[in-house]
Every structure is written in structure tokens, then in C-alpha cells.
Amino acid sequence: MSARPFGARLAAAMDDHGPLCVGIDPHASLLRDWGLPDDADGLRTFSLRVVDALGGRVAAFKPQAAFFERHGSRGVAVLEEVIAAARAAGTLTIVDAKRGDIGSTMGAYAEAFLADGSPLAGDALTVSPYLGFGSLDPAVELAAATGRGLFVLCLTSNKEGHEVQHARTTDASGPGVGDGSTVAALMAARAAVLNAGAEPLGSVGLVVGATIGGAATATGTDLVAVNGPLLAPGVGAQGAGERELATAFGAARRAVLASSSRAVLAAGPDGLVAAADAAVSEARSALRG
Ligand SMILES: O=C(O)c1cc(=O)[nH]c(=O)n1[C@@H]1O[C@H](COP(=O)(O)O)[C@@H](O)[C@H]1O
């Protein structure tokens, strides 16, 4: 793909367009509200309208694979088309598929989402490290080789994430972590090792929900040391705004890419640009002010 690593490309896109990612989550209810059928044709019209309206205006798109997969193979073909359209519009795409499996299977997921020439490869992929961070190695290696990025789930925006992410480990090791560190802190420390020395940002980011309040401090998760982008879903529909972003990220806020799906998409095809512009201003003032 590009010889320029994802972290550098994302940092430049955030400087140019503001630190906002628009999630493309074509819920059945949104298709209905837009006057579209809940089928692959409606999905295609909806998603390409979003790319058409906002391509070149925001730092990144994040199509949520689940809403494409629920329409079967035709839906997956639409996801491929959306990724290609975003690329043509010059906007970075984070494919939100949250993949994670044993290493050999992870290799196949990596080829699907991170290999040059794969129709499902965007610029970055969300991945789950809960089979062990090392299980992600095939994705880490292929992303590095092709100039793509990863966003590793760390402190998610849902309330159920605590039971895993805040749990304390008994055999953690690595810089800044040891026995008794939380799982979230361990994941962040692993990403920090991969991003060491990268400028202006590494390409192995974390997912840290904008709704987490003081959880980074409470879990001992050092978000500044990660030296990678921090994808922050939860803005808008899940209740996070400027104050929540500031509380959740503090000194790490310059690395944050706020992400909003329903709150922008609910503005309908005609209100998309205004809603995205408002979300960009809010993200800028919370994270770059
Ligand atoms: O990885 C994600 O993007 C993600 C992680 C997380 O902790 N919470 C979270 O909401 N997300 C995704 O972000 C999007 C949130 O959508 P809205 O709540 O409509 O803005 C969905 O696609 C979620 O799957």
C-alpha cells in the first residue's frame, strides 16, 4: 500500500480535518428513517451517500462490518465498494470488524483485512486482544509491512467491558507492567512497545471509549506512553461530549480520534455535512483546544 505508515497518515489527516471519525453503521432503523429498504440496495445507497457527502471532509470513516454482514454476501460486497469509494475520496478507512483468533487463523483475517489488493482492506482494522496480545502477531506484522494500522480494544465503551479489562493479571510482564497490573494496562503497554520511537504517532492504536470516565487512571493504563492513536467511540449516541472526552483522556488527548456514528447519521442525507461539521468542531475544541 503506502510506504508512509498509517500513524503518520492519520496524524496528518487529523491535523487537516480535525480529530473526528464518522462511523458508517447502517442500522435497520436508520435505513428506514432515510426512506430506504432494509436490504443490500438500501445499504449501498445509504453508505455511498455518506462517503459522497463526507469524503475529504473528515479524518476517517469507520464502517462497522456487522451491519454489512447482516445482509450476507451482497452486504459484504457493499462493504468492499464502500472501502474503495472512501479510498477514491482520499479519506482513511478503519474497518471495524473487531477480529481476534488464534495466531494461524489470525493470519487469514490479516490477509483479508490488511493485505495489499484485498477488497476488504482499508487503512486500519479494529482487533480484539482477548486471546492474548501475542495472538495478534500476524496482523501486527502484515499491518507494518503494508503501511496499515490496528486499533486494539483496550477500555471499551460498554459497561460489561470492566469484568475483563479491569481484571488484574497474575503473570504480566513488560515495560511498566508486572504482576497485578490490570488487563487494560497490559494491552496498552504491549502497544507502547510496538510504537516505540515512531513519530509523530505509531500505527498500533488502542480503542478507548469516550464514555470511560476515570477508568484509564483507575486501571493504571498509561495512554500517553502508548504513542499511538486512540480511537474514542461513544461520542454522541452513547452520551459522550466535550466534557467526557477531556475527562477520559487528559494529557493523552492530542492522540485521540473521536468517533461518532448514529449521532451524525441520524441527521439524514441532507443534514450529514452540518452534523459532521458540528461534531468536528466539538472534537477539535475538546481535544485540540
Ligand atoms: O471499536 C469500536 O469502534 C467500538 C468500541 C467500543 O468500545 N465501543 C463502540 O461503540 N465501538 C463501535 O463504535 C460504534 C458506535 O456507534 P454509535 O454509538 O452509533 O456512535 C459502533 O460501531 C461500535 O461497535
DSSP per residue over 36-51, as a string? --SSHHHHHHHHHHHH
Percent of the chain exceeding pLDDT 90 equals 94
Q: How much is the average pLDDT of 118-144?
A: 97
Percent of the chain exceeding pLDDT 70 equals 97
Within 10 angstroms of residue 118's Cβ, the number of other Cβ atoms is: 15
pLDDT grade, residue 176 (50/70/90)?
low
Any atom of ligand 1 within 6 Å of the Cβ of 157: yes
pLDDT grade, residue 171 (50/70/90)?
confident
Closest ligand 1 atom to Cα of 155: 7
Kindly list the distances between the CA atom of residue 21 and the CA atoms of 17, 45, 205, 264, in Å, as whole numbers in the listed order: 10, 20, 14, 10
Whether a cis peptide bond, with omega within 30° of 0, leads into 200 is yes
ipTM confidence score: 0.99
Q: What is the pTM of this model?
A: 0.97
pLDDT grade, residue 175 (50/70/90)?
low
**Residue 242 and residue 283: Cα distance in Å, rounded?**
7
Closest ligand 1 atom to Cα of 157: 7
pLDDT grade, residue 170 (50/70/90)?
confident
Which among 182, 112, 108 is positioned nearest to 148, based on CA atoms?
A: 112
Contact in structure between 20 and 257 (CB atoms under 8 Å): yes
Any atom of ligand 1 within 6 Å of the Cβ of 212: no
Cα torsion angle, 94, 64, 280, 165, sign: negative
User: What pLDDT is attached to residue 215?
Assistant: 97
DSSP per residue over 5-35, as a string? -HHHHHHHHHHHH-SEEEEE---HHHHHHTT
**Residue 266 and residue 269: Cα distance in Å, rounded?**
9
Q: How much is the average pLDDT of 22-31?
A: 98
Any atom of ligand 1 within 6 Å of the Cβ of 193: no
Q: How much is the average pLDDT of 55-61?
A: 98
Among candidate residues 49, 98, 162, 166, the one labeled active-site is 98
Q: Name the closest-CA residue to atom 2, ligand 1.
A: 233
198 C-alpha to ligand 1 centroid (Å): 27
**Which H or E run includes 93?**
strand 92-99
pLDDT digits (tens, 9 = 90+) for 69-104: 999 999 999 999 999 999 999 999 999 999 999 999
Q: Name the closest-CA residue to atom 22, ligand 1.
A: 64
- Domains of the chain (ranges; CATH) run 6-283 (3.20.20.70)
Average pLDDT, rounded, for the chain = 96
Contact in structure between 269 and 49 (CB atoms under 8 Å): yes
Any atom of ligand 1 within 6 Å of the Cβ of 237: yes
User: What pLDDT is attached to residue 1?
Assistant: 57
Using alpha carbons only, give the angle 125, 130, 235 rounded to the nearest 5 degrees.
55
User: What pLDDT is attached to residue 58?
Assistant: 98
Is the confidence at residue 174, as pLDDT, over 70? Answer: no
pLDDT digits (tens, 9 = 90+) for 225-272: 999 999 999 999 999 999 999 999 999 999 999 999 999 999 999 999
Q: Name the closest-CA residue to atom 5, ligand 1.
A: 156
pLDDT digits (tens, 9 = 90+) for 210-228: 999 999 999 999 999 999 9
98 is catalytic: yes
Residue among 64, 69, 165, 245 whose CB has most ligand 1 atoms within 8 A, to mutate: 64
Closest ligand 1 atom to Cα of 161: 7
User: What pLDDT is attached to residue 2?
Assistant: 57
237 C-alpha to ligand 1 centroid (Å): 10
